[in-house]
Amino acid sequence: MAIAEPPVVQAEPPPPPTRRSARAITWARRRRAVAAHWRVYRRNRQGMWGLAILLIFIALALAAPLLVDERRLEPAFSTGIPFQPPSADAWLGTDKFGRSMVDLLVYGARISLLVGFTATVGTMLIGSVVGIAAGYYGGRIDALLNAFTNWFLVLPWIVLAIVLASLLGATLFNIILVIAITSWAGTARLVRAQTLTVKERPYVERARALGAGDWHLITRHILPNVFPVIFANTVLTVALSILSETTLSILGLGDPNSVSWGVIIEESFSSGALTAGYWWWLIPPGVCIVLVTLAFTMCGYALDEILNPRLRER
Amino acid sequence: MGSQRYLVRKVLHAIATLLFVVAFNFYLFRIMPGDPITILARSQHLSRADIAEQIANLGLDKPLPQQLLIYLGDTFRGELGVDLRSGAPVSQLIAERLWPTILLVGISTVLSIGFGLLIGIKGAWQRGGLFDTTSLYTSLVFYSMPEGWLGMILIVLFAGLLGWFPAGQYESPADLTGFAHIVDVLNHLFLPCLTLTLGYIGEYAIVMRSSLLEVRGEDFITTARAKGVPDRDVRRRHAVPNALLPTLTLVFYSFGFVLGGAVVIESVFSWPGVGRLTYEAIGELNYPILQGVFLLSSVTVILFNLAADILYGYLDPRIREG
């Protein structure tokens, strides 16, 4: 039987040993580093508990539109009976507009986490720019920025936040802005200190001798080495930002149109839930805040133990 | 010689910071939306003549640099403007409200430091033990709690359900004098004080614990043990005094910030202190009061930081020389 000979395929010449780009090598190294850190992190019970709690809340916040009809949160469209204790219909009772507490809490997770994350991004952005500029350029720039940072460290944050929030007006964006403005100084100091040590390392000097500019040095050498140190701090900052938002909301400076957990607490307080005994309106949002803050703090401590070389020995 | 230069440097630094804060306080209320003239004009409590007088007094009709000079002069004379609602001087209003805040904040700070340090010492000395684990997690939970919410829970529990303590205010409406009055005030003080104490205890405990853990690994502790010093004395005479140093600094640094922390608690408990004054000023944008409180709390922080620096330099010669 004649089987048609398969057409002779010209075997491709083996690819010449390509040189991997420097970037590919860097990323491969970073992937390995992250994997190695993850193996250490996974053994940290505290950190894993924190991570688990966080993932649940983040999933809840992301899935909120699928779980809850957003229109039911509009006071005008709410069909429930106000001030109902927990029942089969509303597992955690209802608030003064008859909105289900479960619905409110699920959407509250969205707002509170959003504020926590974006305020942290703002804090880190301002803190990193100021800290790196001060540490990297040194001299007069450092003196000026450092003095500025130290001044901001002594401003009593809550009073400053109250003043800013009441002058700017209570919108979600302003609250995020206020939190970022009042909390960047600690990060800046941390970043500056780390930049100062990284700057003196031989490879930075070598890169500079090879003609690397400031931008290249900062983005390729300083930033990647500062990042691990501030990462743990970042996670702790999210916890603080959520607490700050709650504090501002309790003082009546929250955005009434975006019902965060803090706003729920304020509404229950100002509607007399304490004297009327509407515990289901007051307790659950606070418990959510405690859980999320605790989770972020636990993750932050675990990361600090892994990433902070000073603590690693112990 | 070195210590004198250290002192001078710290004092100069404090003065520079003070100047920055005063200037910041000035510009903050003029750069932000809602300039003073608009806010003054919107006041429903001041008469037209009062407003005109305020504008002239504060020099609001003059250029900014001149306004700054007027503001600086007024501030150093202790004139902080007038309350937009009653027309009373802000400095007088703040002075009236100062005592309840000092009482509340002072007692709860002392209590939280005392308990916090004891818990931290005991925990670190039996690291990983039942007490250590329990106290560490309890501290973390209280640290993660919004203070205002904790206060509300305590009100529901102790004032609502149990009825042991009043839910707020400084004293009962009844006219009490002498010892009965003191007991009445203490009765009202209990819940806000408990809230603040619980809120701060964790931080002190955690810092003291980690500081003592660090000291425990040092060579001189090993030496002391090798000499045969009993465990109790190693702790009391060798470890704790050295671990107290960083904690003490934290105590002083945080002393300055407690005034701010009182804002929420005083609002929740209707405690008539400076914090409550601030809370009342938020809604109506009573900016002279906000400005006054901001100045007062910044000055407190700066003074306590200076005290901490001096104390630290006194206790730790390495700092002074360096």
pLDDT of residue A314: 42
Do B59 and B140 lie in a common domain?
A: no
Residue B226, burial from CB neighbour count under 10 angstroms (0-12, 13-18, 19+):
exposed
User: What confidence category does residue A132 fall into, taking pLDDT thresholds of 50, 70 and 90?
Assistant: very high
Residue range A134-156, pLDDT digits in tens: 999 988 999 899 888 988 887 88
Chain B environment of A250 (Cβ under 8 Å): 146, 148-149, 264, 267-268
Q: Is residue B310 part of a domain?
A: no
- Judged against a pLDDT cut of 70, whether residue B35 lies above it is answered with no
Do B263 and B231 lie in a common domain?
A: yes
- Judged against a pLDDT cut of 60, whether residue A312 lies above it is answered with no
Mean pLDDT (chain A, rounded): 83
Residue A246, burial from CB neighbour count under 10 angstroms (0-12, 13-18, 19+):
buried
Which ipTM did the prediction report? 0.84
Do B168 and B300 lie in a common domain?
A: yes
Mean pLDDT (chain B, rounded): 82
Do B284 and B204 lie in a common domain?
A: yes
**Contact flag B144-A150 (C-beta cutoff 8 Å):** no
- Lowest pLDDT segment from A126-130, A281-285, B162-166: B162-166
- Judged against a pLDDT cut of 90, whether residue A289 lies above it is answered with yes
**Contact flag A274-B256 (C-beta cutoff 8 Å):** no
pLDDT of residue A180: 93
User: What confidence category does residue A7 fall into, taking pLDDT thresholds of 50, 70 and 90?
Assistant: low
pLDDT of residue A310: 59
Do B140 and B178 lie in a common domain?
A: yes
Q: Are A131 and A188 in contact (CB under 8 A)?
A: yes
Q: Is residue B297 part of a domain?
A: yes
Q: Is residue B81 part of a domain?
A: no
With CA atoms as reference, the chain B residue closest to A276 would be B160
pLDDT of residue B1: 46
With CA atoms as reference, the chain A residue closest to B277 would be A159
Do B104 and B71 lie in a common domain?
A: no
**Contact flag A274-B156 (C-beta cutoff 8 Å):** yes
Do B198 and B67 lie in a common domain?
A: no
A168 touches chain B (CB under 8 A): yes
Q: Are B322 and B41 in contact (CB under 8 A)?
A: no
Chain B environment of A251 (Cβ under 8 Å): 148, 263-264, 267, 279, 282
pTM of the model: 0.85
Do B258 and B119 lie in a common domain?
A: yes
Do B59 and B127 lie in a common domain?
A: no
Of A252, A275, A279, the CB nearest to B282: A252
Residue range B174-220, pLDDT digits in tens: 777 777 778 777 878 888 999 999 988 888 888 888 888 888 888 88
Smallest Cα distance from A63 to chain B, Å = 25
Domains recognised in chain A with CATH numbers:
61-71+91-313 (1.10.3720.10)
Smallest Cα distance from A161 to chain B, Å = 10
- Judged against a pLDDT cut of 60, whether residue B80 lies above it is answered with yes
- Judged against a pLDDT cut of 60, whether residue A4 lies above it is answered with no
Three-state DSSP state, A21:
coil
User: What confidence category does residue A288 fall into, taking pLDDT thresholds of 50, 70 and 90?
Assistant: very high
Task: Quote the percentage of chain B above a pLDDT of 70.
Answer: 93
Residue range B14-29, pLDDT digits in tens: 888 888 888 888 887 7
A196, two tokens = 């100062």
Give the CATH number for residue B273.
1.10.3720.10
pLDDT of residue A116: 93
For residue B184, what are the domain limits? 90-305
Q: Is residue B203 part of a domain?
A: yes
Q: How many domains in chain B? A: 2
- Judged against a pLDDT cut of 50, whether residue A1 lies above it is answered with no
- Lowest pLDDT segment from A209-213, A249-253, A273-277, B286-290: A273-277
Smallest Cα distance from A218 to chain B, Å = 30
* First-to-final CA distance of chain A: 76
- Lowest pLDDT segment from A44-48, B43-47, B211-215: B43-47
Q: Is residue B316 part of a domain?
A: no
pLDDT of residue A276: 76
Do B185 and B280 lie in a common domain?
A: yes
Q: Is residue B256 part of a domain?
A: yes
Which phi and psi (to 5°) does residue B235 adopt?
A: -70, -50
Do B170 and B69 lie in a common domain?
A: no
With CA atoms as reference, the chain A residue closest to B301 would be A154
Q: Is residue B284 part of a domain?
A: yes
Q: Is residue B82 part of a domain?
A: no
| d(C-alpha B43, C-alpha B49), whole Å | 12
Residue range B54-70, pLDDT digits in tens: 777 777 777 777 788 88
**Contact flag A155-B264 (C-beta cutoff 8 Å):** no
Give B65 or A202, the one with higher predicted confidence: A202
- Judged against a pLDDT cut of 70, whether residue B155 lies above it is answered with yes
Do B99 and B147 lie in a common domain?
A: yes
What does A108-174 look like in DSSP terms, one character per residue?
HHHHHHHHHHHHHHHHHHHHHHHHHHHHHH-HHHHHHHHHHHHHHHHS-HHHHHHHHHHHH-S-HHH
A263 touches chain B (CB under 8 A): no
Give B322 or A233, the one with higher predicted confidence: A233
- Judged against a pLDDT cut of 60, whether residue B97 lies above it is answered with yes
User: What confidence category does residue A14 fall into, taking pLDDT thresholds of 50, 70 and 90?
Assistant: low
pLDDT of residue A118: 95
